[in-house]
């Protein structure tokens, strides 16, 4: 059987690729029926391989936001290692591009927040910030060799002094066989204006590692996500990638969560990643997305802001077991509730 996703033909789910399938199909029956349908429709998005099952196979997937970033510097080897130790199904690298065209794991366009670049290199460009021209230290103004001289750990805690910025290839090698990759293309349009093609660079990197097809390594499933619908359309329509894609949605782009927006999204992505608060505002969104064959993985759950909930564990449990989301993106993988709400710390 061939399933259609975003007009791309996807292979059927292989028997070994069962982790997410088991998790989702073990949910209560009405939800199970909906999600079974989603899995049939979005077969490409469900290749999570034969990694060891989590403590509770009923639970939605656990995605470690920038690694276990509550406890170690975001996107550091330490944060990714800890996330895997804490049972993450996926780690979540954000992508930026160096001056010499290498994909690195970094959230911001600039190096200033998470490295000591100000102390090591002078600013190489000025850009408009808050209405004024200011010195900036954009990653894209520095070569990989320069960026790898920077301390990317001390800003978080002296205990992490000397941690370096990782390339995407290094991240892949680090997690390979132990977790999946939920990769985000950051600011692809800005890089496009600067002469870089983030989508091509990403697919080339994945191909070099043999990860550019769903199920290529069942122990290391790959999902690509972005706030840029244009970037995802390029991946699906121009590059014809069959990898699962997810559209990130924030308040400014909440039109994607209307019935019309979701129907349009379903034409080119397998899932949505809304800011978690948007789902609290309208809890019908999850069911509607599921009816359209879209998985729903909200962000970001963090113990420093559990919102109206007593703890982030209870907050995630509400989304997982009451709202029925398919996964959660969290800074605290260790607080992920592997059981429904009772007894969650
Ligand atoms: O995975 C979604 C989440 O990472 C999006 O927000 O800004 O942390 O990349 P941000
Ligand atoms: Ca991200």
Ligand 1: distance of its center to the CA of 317 in Å? Answer: 20
Tell me, yes or no, if 290 is annotated catalytic: no
Ligand 1 lined by 300 (C-beta under 6 Å): yes
Which among 172, 111, 105 has a CA at the least distance from the CA of 141? Answer: 111
Ligand 1 lined by 273 (C-beta under 6 Å): yes
Helix residue ranges, H only, 210-335: 229-233, 259-265, 276-281, 284-291, 312-317
Q: Which ligand is nearest to the CA of 327?
A: 1
- Is position 341 within any domain? no
- Is position 154 within any domain? yes
The domain containing residue 298 runs over which residues?
Answer: 3-335
Query: Residue 280, SS3?
Result: helix
- Is position 342 within any domain? no
Q: What is the pLDDT of residues 34-90, one digit of tens each?
A: 322 232 233 333 333 333 344 555 569 999 999 999 999 999 999 999 999 999 999
325: domain CATH number is 3.20.20.190
| Catalytic member of 7, 107, 239, 290 | 107
Q: Which ligand is nearest to the CA of 69?
A: 1
Q: Using H for helix, E for strand and C for coil, what is the string for 51-102?
A: CCCCCCCCCCEEEEECCCCCCCCCCCHHHHHHHHHCCCCEEECEEEECCCCC
Q: Which residues contact 70 (CB under 8 A, 6 or more apart)?
A: 302, 303, 304, 331, 332
- Is position 193 within any domain? yes
- Is position 15 within any domain? yes
- Name which residue sits closest to atom 7 of ligand 1, judged by CA: 107
- Identify whether the C-beta of residue 104 lies closer than 8 Å to the C-beta of residue 144: yes
**Which pTM value belongs to this model?**
0.85
Q: Rounded CA gap, 323 and 317, in Å?
A: 9
Q: What is the pLDDT of residues 295-342, one digit of tens each?
A: 999 999 999 999 999 999 999 999 999 999 999 999 999 999 987 766
Tell me, yes or no, if 65 is annotated catalytic: yes
Ligand 2 is an ion; residues with CB less than 5 A from it? 94, 184
In residues, how long is the chain? Answer: 345
Which ligand 1 atom is nearest residue 248's CA?
2
Domain count, the chain: 1
Q: What is the pLDDT of residues 134-184, one digit of tens each?
A: 999 999 999 999 999 999 999 999 999 999 999 999 999 999 999 999 999
Which among 67, 62, 85 has a CA at the least distance from the CA of 337? Answer: 62
Residue 100 has pLDDT above 60, yes or no: yes
More confident residue, 128 or 35: 128
């Amino acid at each position: 059987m061939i399933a259609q996703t975003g007009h791309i033909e996807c292979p059927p789910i292989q028997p070994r690729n069962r982790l997410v399938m088991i998790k989702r199909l073990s949910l209560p029956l009405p939800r199970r029926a909906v999600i079974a349908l989603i899995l049939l429709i979005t077969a490409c998005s469900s290749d999570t391989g034969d990694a060891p099952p989590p403590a509770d196979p009923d639970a939605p997937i656990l995605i470690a936001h920038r690694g276990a970033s509550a406890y170690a510097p975001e996107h550091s080897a330490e944060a990714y290692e800890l996330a895997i130790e804490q049972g993450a199904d996926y780690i979540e690298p954000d992508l930026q591009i160096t001056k010499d065209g290498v994909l690195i794991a970094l959230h911001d366009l600039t190096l200033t927040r998470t490295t000591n670049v100000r102390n090591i290199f002078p600013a190489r460009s000025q850009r408009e910030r808050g209405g004024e021209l200011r010195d900036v230290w954009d990653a894209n103004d520095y070569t990989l060799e320069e960026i790898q001289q920077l301390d990317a750990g001390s800003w978080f805690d002296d205990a992490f002094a000397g941690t370096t910025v990782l390339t995407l290839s290094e991240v892949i090698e680090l997690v390979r066989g132990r977790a999946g990759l939920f990769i985000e293309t950051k600011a692809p349009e800005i890089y496009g204006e600067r002469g870089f093609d983030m989508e091509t660079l990403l697919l080339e990197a994945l191909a070099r590692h043999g990860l550019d097809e769903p199920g290529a390594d069942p122990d290391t499933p790959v999902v690509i996500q972005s706030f840029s619908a244009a970037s995802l359309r390029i991946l699906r329509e121009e590059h014809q990638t069959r990898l699962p894609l997810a559209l990130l949605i924030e308040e400014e782009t909440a039109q994607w969560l209307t019935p019309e927006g979701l129907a349009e999204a379903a034409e080119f992505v397998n899932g949505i990643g809304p800011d978690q608060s948007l789902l609290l505002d309208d809890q019908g969104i999850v069911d509607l997305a599921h009816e359209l064959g879209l998985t729903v993985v909200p962000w970001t759950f963090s113990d420093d802001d559990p919102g109206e909930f007593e703890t982030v564990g209870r907050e995630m449990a509400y989304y997982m077991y009451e709202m029925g989301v398919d996964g959660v993106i969290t800074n605290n993988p260790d607080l992920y509730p592997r059981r429904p709400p009772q007894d969650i710390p």
